[in-house]
């Protein structure tokens, strides 16, 4: 037992998502989030760089998972197929978090600043994927373009998953989206 209640970070993240949902991102002050978590504003900023970041704590792990899956894809796999492997891996971890993802996504979609933050997380993912592809021997600009395409598929697939019926499986939606992209770039 520490001096304080455990998991300050988690409490802050929970309080933030609740308040952003209840009254909106802009109408919520950091002081309010901290108070609901039983902490002070200053402590909030020790755990999260800014008011937006509290919603994106898991993005580093997601990126790492995606990148690792692509890196570990069979050497024989074409660049676009190694990305498909990554999309599969990513889909797994979302399977049992659909409700949370929906709630979080609704908050983000309601505010432009949060969308900006999400976009740069995806851009970071794209950069990391491009780097991984380069290590797999893919030259530029193919590596960057493939990575961008992969993130585009993720974005579109994710949005479809969010609004889809409960039975629809994320991995399938990702595969469908990737096939659609292939079709459309083929001159479809």
Partner DNA sequence: CTGTCGATGTCAGTTGCTGTCATCGAGGCT
Partner DNA sequence: AGCCTCGATGACAGCAACTGACATCGACAG
User: What are the residues binding DNA (CB under 7 A)?
Assistant: 1-4, 8, 28-31, 34, 38-43, 45-47, 49-52
Of 69, 153, 170, 174, which one interacts with its own copies (CB under 8 A)? 153
The secondary structure of residue 51, as a DSSP letter, is T
**154's tokens:** 């993720």
64 phi and psi, to 5 degrees? -65, -40
Minimum distance from CB of 117 to DNA (Å)? 10
The closest alpha carbon to 149, from 96, 185, 100, 105, belongs to 185
The answer to whether residue 165 forms part of the interface with its own copies (CB under 8 A) is no
Determine contact, residues 15/33, Cβ cutoff 8 Å. yes
Cα–Cα distance for residue pair 175/150, rounded to 1 Å: 11
Q: Which residues contact 173 (CB under 8 A, 6 or more apart)?
A: 157, 160, 161, 164
Q: Of 53 and 159, which CB lies nearer to DNA in the complex structure? A: 53
Stretch that binds its own copies, among 6-14, 67-75, 92-100, 179-187 (CB under 8 A): 179-187
Cα–Cα distance for residue pair 65/77, rounded to 1 Å: 18
The answer to whether residue 88 forms part of the interface with its own copies (CB under 8 A) is no
Of 152, 164, 172, 175, which one interacts with its own copies (CB under 8 A)? 152
Of 62, 80, 101, 128, which one interacts with its own copies (CB under 8 A)? 80
**Binding at 95: pick from DNA, its own copies, none (beta carbon under 5-8 Å per type):** none
Stretch that binds its own copies, among 5-13, 58-66, 77-85, 163-171 (CB under 8 A): 77-85
The answer to whether residue 92 forms part of the interface with its own copies (CB under 8 A) is no
Minimum distance from CB of 177 to its own copies (Å)? 6
Cis peptide before 141 (omega within 30 of 0): yes
């Amino acid at each position: 037992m520490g001096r304080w209640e455990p998991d300050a970070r988690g409490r802050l993240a929970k309080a933030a998502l609740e308040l952003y949902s209840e009254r909106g991102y802009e109408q919520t002050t950091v002081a309010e989030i901290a108070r609901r978590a039983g902490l002070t504003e200053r402590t909030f900023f020790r755990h999260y760089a800014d008011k937006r970041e509290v919603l994106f704590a898991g993005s580093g792990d997601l990126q790492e998972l995606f990148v690792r899956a692509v890196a570990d894809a069979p050497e024989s796999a074409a660049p676009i197929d190694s990305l498909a492997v990554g999309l599969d891996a990513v889909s797994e971890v979302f399977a049992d978090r659909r409700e949370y993802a929906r709630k979080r996504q609704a908050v983000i979609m309601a505010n432009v600043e949060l969308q900006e933050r999400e976009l740069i997380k995806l851009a970071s993912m794209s950069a990391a994927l491009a780097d991984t592809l380069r290590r797999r021997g893919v030259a530029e600009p193919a590596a960057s373009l493939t990575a961008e395409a992969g993130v585009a598929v993720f974005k579109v697939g994710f949005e479809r998953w969010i609004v889809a019926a409960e039975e629809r499986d994320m991995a399938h939606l990702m595969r469908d989206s990737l096939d659609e992209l292939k079709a459309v770039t083929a001159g479809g």
